[in-house]
Amino acid sequence: MINNRLGQAFGHWSDIWIRSGWRVQIHCVTGLARTLNAQGTRVGFGPPEECVAAAARSAPSAGAKRAAVLLHGLWDSPAIMSRLSEALQAEGWAIADVGYPSMRQPLAAHGAAASRAARALAEDGAREISFVGHSLGGLVARTAMANAEMDGWRAGRLVLIGSPARGSVVANQFQNVPGYRTIVGSCSHAVTAAGAMTISPPICQEVLVIAGGTGGRGYNPLIPGDNDGLIAVKETRMQDHETGFLLFRSRHKSLPTRPETISACRQFLTTGRVAR
């Protein structure tokens, strides 16, 4: 699992099209694309639009009117969202569990790729596209949803899981430390307080914020207030935009895999509300 996560983070491939297990990925350096079938075998290579067109001819339709894009966080991979993906697909959702090289490109590039994946779901018949983003993935989701109208798809609901909506005090403290940008990559500024302020507010329907913490002093004594070990609860809040807020006893990394998180996502994406 660790090797898989690091391979995604430091790799060069970003998903831009997903349907029924098929994927088209673009190389962040060369700009060329590859097509992977549902078994993960490469069956095409070349210009992105040619690969997308070929995949659209080959991949079966998901046949779903409800669709969601799932986005992992920094140093992670789509595997972290797999439990949620399976739960939503079991209820008839079309899902794009998007992988992106979080260390290699800036936030705008990740957002553009995620928006393309959303457009593919819309082209397959989904009425609107909701997003679920963990950590950095929440910032990517907001960036993608800001482009929905221009890219030809309708934004649905948004769930932010442990996402530093206000930036991270940890990032603020370390941004001038030698090696910080090497460790955090091209999104190093986006996760600071100053960087987070430049990201578009949610341009979508209802917004659910899920934070991890202890309900008290938090897991990390070096972070002021309750926290999940990496992100402070107060850093996740978007009071002017959030429809609902939930705090679960969880550390940052495990938050998207917890049963209560998955249950809350399922309920909110379907109804726009969550039981407290």
> Is pLDDT of 249 > 80?
yes
CA 163/CA 243 separation, integer angstroms: 15
CA 211/CA 213 separation, integer angstroms: 7
The DSSP code for 35 is E
| CB contact set of 146 (below 8 Å; sequence gap of 6+) | 111, 200, 203
The DSSP code for 227 is B
| CB contact set of 3 (below 8 Å; sequence gap of 6+) | none
63-271: which CATH topology? Rossmann fold (3.40.50)
CA 44/CA 127 separation, integer angstroms: 29
Q: What was the pLDDT predicted at 104?
A: 85
Across the range 112-140, mean pLDDT stands at: 97
Q: What was the pLDDT predicted at 2?
A: 43
Instruction: Please state the domain extents for the chain.
Output: 63-271
pLDDT tens digit sequence for 2-33: 445 555 656 889 999 999 999 999 999 999 99
Helix (H), strand (E) at residue 165: none
pLDDT tens digit sequence for 162-213: 999 999 998 888 777 777 777 777 788 888 888 988 998 889 999 999 999 9
> Is pLDDT of 75 > 90?
no
> Is pLDDT of 215 > 90?
yes
Q: What was the pLDDT predicted at 189?
A: 84
Query: Band of the pLDDT at 230, cuts 50, 70, 90?
Result: very high
> Is pLDDT of 67 > 90?
yes
Q: What was the pLDDT predicted at 96?
A: 98
CA 163/CA 222 separation, integer angstroms: 18
Q: What angle do CA 4, 15, 120 make, to 5 degrees?
A: 145
- The structure tokens 């979508």 sit at 204
Q: Which amino acid is at 249?
A: R
CA 248/CA 257 separation, integer angstroms: 12
pLDDT tens digit sequence for 142-169: 999 999 999 999 999 999 999 999 999 9
| C-beta of residue 131 within 8 angstroms of C-beta of residue 204 | yes
| C-beta of residue 46 within 8 angstroms of C-beta of residue 18 | no
> Bigger pLDDT: 105 or 226?
226
- First-to-final CA distance of the chain: 33
- The structure tokens 């009117």 sit at 65
| Average pLDDT, rounded, for the chain | 93
CA 275/CA 114 separation, integer angstroms: 29
